[in-house]
Amino acid sequence: MDNNLKDKWQAAEYCPSEKLNAQQIINGQRTTTLQKLAGRYKFFANLGLSLMLLMPIDWYAASHSSLIIGKPVFIFAMIFFGICSITDFMLYKGISRIDCCRMTVIEVTGKILLYRKRHLQFVMLFAPLAIAFIGYVAYSNLNDKYFMYGVIAGSIIGLTIGIRQLLQFMADYRTIINLTEDNDTQEYKS
């Protein structure tokens, strides 16, 4: 049985379907999926930081307009974007440290599952906060017709995308929880 399986496996011959562009790899013109993912987190960390720093300017602009947005909203937004930036930076640093050439398979698996789980947990934490924030701003400006149109249009688009994402998110989270129940990867997750 064992030899039969091994024979079958070793009998497979691979005919390359696509020629490898080795020159681009050597020149460093290509990046891996993991590097792209780390880059995305870095981008969002910088975006969160920029938005946080922009809040005082927004507050100044809003205080000179017809919009009724209180100071606490801007403080809340600053804290929100600040924490978003920190969490994205944490994920960026964590993913950047994954070394596929030196780490063992168990270490890589443990870290990948940990960061995926953290990502989903952060989404779970921040999504309701963001909805509450938008709701509060909309409630404060019920009299501003055009502002409300913007909020309604944004909410419809957001809900359409959000429900789809939520279903996918729940499926991913269940898969990760099933995979993390594996005892051998437990010790590398902290």
Partner 1 sequence: MHAIVHTYPPAIPQLSALKRGIAVIQYLKRTVSALSHGNCETTKHDRYATFGHIITEHDRLISQICFSYSHTREEFEDLRQDTYINIWQGLKHFNHRSTIKTWLYRVTLNTCISSIRLKSKRINNVSIDELCYSIADDDQNRQRLLYELHDCINMLNPIDKAIIIMWLDEFSYDEISDVMGLNRNTIASRLKRAKEKLIKL
Let me know the angle formed at the C-alpha of 12 by 10 and 18, rounded to the nearest 5 degrees. 130
Q: How many angstroms separate the CA atoms of 94 and 117, rounded?
A: 13
Asked if 79 interacts with partner 1 (CB under 8 A), we say no
Asked if 190 interacts with partner 1 (CB under 8 A), we say no
Asked if 11 interacts with partner 1 (CB under 8 A), we say yes
Asked if 26 interacts with partner 1 (CB under 8 A), we say yes
Q: Which is nearer to partner 1, 57 or 105 (CB)?
A: 105
CA distances from 37 to 40, 41, 106, 125, 146 (A): 5, 6, 20, 21, 37
Among 32, 66, 143, 190, binds partner 1 (CB under 8 A): 32
Q: In the complex, what is the shortest distance from the CB of residue 188 to partner 1, in angstroms, rounded to a whole number?
A: 8
SS3 for 53?
A: helix
Q: Where are the beta strands (DSSP E) in 28-168?
A: none
Asked if 100 interacts with partner 1 (CB under 8 A), we say yes
* Residue partners of 34: CB distance under 8 A and separation at least 6: 95, 98, 100
Asked if 125 interacts with partner 1 (CB under 8 A), we say no
Which of 145, 135, 4, 150 minimizes the C-alpha distance to 73? 135
Rg (CA), the chain: 23
* Number of chain residues interacting with partner 1 (CB under 8 A): 46
Asked if 157 interacts with partner 1 (CB under 8 A), we say no
What x/- string results for residues 102 through 121 when contact with partner 1 is judged by CB under 8 A?
Answer: xxxxxxxx--x---------
**DSSP 8-state symbol, 178:** H
Which of 184, 6, 36 minimizes the C-alpha distance to 104? 184
CA distances from 57 to 52, 80, 135 (A): 10, 16, 22
Q: Which is nearer to partner 1, 20 or 190 (CB)?
A: 20
Among 65, 66, 72, 101, binds partner 1 (CB under 8 A): 101
Asked if 176 interacts with partner 1 (CB under 8 A), we say yes
Among 43, 171, 177, 186, binds partner 1 (CB under 8 A): 171
Judged by the rule CB under 8 A, the positions of this chain that interact with partner 1 are: 1-2, 5-6, 8-18, 20, 22, 25-26, 30-34, 98-109, 112, 168, 171-172, 175-176, 179, 182, 184-185
